[in-house]
């Protein structure tokens, strides 16, 4: 039987000596609160200049900002991804403290809001950001002014960078985050497992060895773009097949396109333990 604690311990014991981990982090502490900051695809819903019926819906569940999630417990607070709607999402969710940002990958709908960490910088200092080394290099190139050390603009954001490596767990607060490597077409992307919760977005395929990290989940969040097949994202059926393989207690679908259809109509077609996420939905695990 898969035991998450044993798996984490194995990973910690195999971690590089450059990183120090305390086995106490394996212990699950307090319930996780997950706030869906955004559940839309790269253009959001509604899309600029589009007359699609879903884009004209008056149901608030059909209005989707770019995909992101806020994870909190005790006095710890982290977000997964920081897209172009980040400022609006922080205001809507009343997030007043942020201990770090976990990046899944470098695409703009997941990173373009980085400049808006400045209010947190002014209160808390440099923001820890966690990402694959490729993603960190991309962010440094695109937001070069953040990383300048000479003639630095006084009001520029500030960050502390932490490289995520596959099969190397890392501490966030008093918990351990397990990186889960997936494929977004030909692009490697990280998802994350924290306790019995896992968050995966922009998935098209996943290697068999990564699936072991996702056994025994209470809640899985995974992308489901639309009903039609897509080159780099799960469509709805692929997401449902993936959920059936993993058998989490509950699953929430995110990174949703207007082409999936109206929220309420799609929800009626889903299995009893699968739910369409929507912006500002909060769950506790």
pLDDT in tens, 80-138: 999 999 999 999 999 999 999 999 999 999 999 999 999 999 999 999 999 999 999 99
Across the range 34-54, mean pLDDT stands at: 97
Q: Among 20-29, 92-101, 179-188, 249-258, which stretch is predicted with the lowest mean pLDDT?
A: 20-29
- For the stretch 171-224, pLDDT in tens is 999 999 999 999 999 999 999 999 999 999 999 999 999 999 999 999 999 999
**Residue 90 · residue 117 · CB < 8 Å:** no
**pTM for the whole structure:** 0.90
Cis upstream peptide for 88 (omega within 30°): no
Question: Is residue 262 domain-resident?
Answer: yes
Sheet of 197-199, strand order: 170-172, 175-184, 187-194, 197-199, 219-223, 250-254, 274-276
Distance CA 238, CA 205 (A): 10
Question: Is residue 153 domain-resident?
Answer: yes
In the chain, how long is the greatest CA-to-CA distance?
Answer: 57
Q: What is the CATH number of the domain that holds 205?
A: 3.60.15.10
pLDDT > 70 fraction of the chain, expressed in percent and rounded = 90
Question: Is residue 25 domain-resident?
Answer: no
SS3 213: helix
Q: Average pLDDT, whole number, for the chain?
A: 92
Q: How many other C-beta atoms are found inside a 10 Å radius of the C-beta of residue 138?
A: 17
Question: Is residue 156 domain-resident?
Answer: yes
Residue 3 has pLDDT above 90, yes or no: no
Range of the domain at 164: 4-14+32-284
Q: How many other C-beta atoms are found inside a 10 Å radius of the C-beta of residue 174?
A: 15
Across the range 225-238, mean pLDDT stands at: 98
Question: What integer pLDDT is reported at residue 164 of this predicted model?
Answer: 98
Question: Is residue 21 domain-resident?
Answer: no
How many CA atoms lie within 13 Å of 218's alpha carbon, on the beta-carbon side? 12
Residue 246 has pLDDT above 80, yes or no: yes
Task: Look up residue 32 and give its two tokens.
Answer: 């996780």
Question: Is residue 26 domain-resident?
Answer: no
Distance CA 242, CA 222 (A): 9
Question: Is residue 22 domain-resident?
Answer: no
Number of domains in the chain: 1
Question: Is residue 27 domain-resident?
Answer: no
């Amino acid at each position: 039987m898969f035991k998450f604690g044993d798996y984490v311990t194995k990973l910690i014991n195999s971690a590089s000596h450059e990183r120090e981990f305390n086995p106490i982090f394996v212990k699950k502490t307090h319930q996780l609160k997950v706030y869906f900051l955004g559940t839309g695809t790269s253009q959001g819903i509604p899309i600029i200049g589009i007359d699609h019926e879903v884009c004209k819906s008056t149901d608030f569940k059909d209005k989707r900002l770019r995909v992101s999630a806020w994870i909190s417990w005790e006095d710890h607070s982290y977000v997964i991804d920081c897209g172009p709607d980040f400022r609006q999402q922080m205001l809507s969710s009343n997030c007043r403290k942020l201990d770090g940002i976990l990046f899944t990958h470098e695409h703009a709908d997941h990173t373009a809001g980085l400049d808006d960490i400045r209010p947190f910088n002014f209160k808390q200092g440099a923001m820890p950001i966690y990402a694959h080394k490729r993603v960190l290099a991309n962010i440094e190139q695109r937001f070069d002014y953040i990383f300048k050390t000479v003639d630095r603009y006084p009001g520029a954001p500030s960050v502390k960078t932490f490289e995520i490596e596959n099969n190397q767990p890392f501490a966030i607060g008093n918990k351990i985050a397990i990186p889960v490597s997936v494929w977004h077409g030909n692009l490697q992307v990280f998802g994350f497992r924290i306790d019995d919760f896992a968050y995966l977005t922009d998935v098209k395929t996943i290697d068999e060895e990564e699936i072991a990290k996702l056994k025994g989940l209470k809640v899985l969040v995974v992308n489901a773009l639309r009903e039609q097949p897509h080159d780099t994202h799960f469509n709805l059926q692929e997401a449902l097949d993936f959920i059936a393989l993993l058998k989490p207690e509950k699953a929430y679908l995110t990174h949703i396109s207007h082409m999936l259809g109206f929220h309420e109509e799609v929800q009626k077609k889903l299995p009893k333990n699968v739910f369409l996420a929507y912006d500002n939905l909060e769950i506790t695990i």
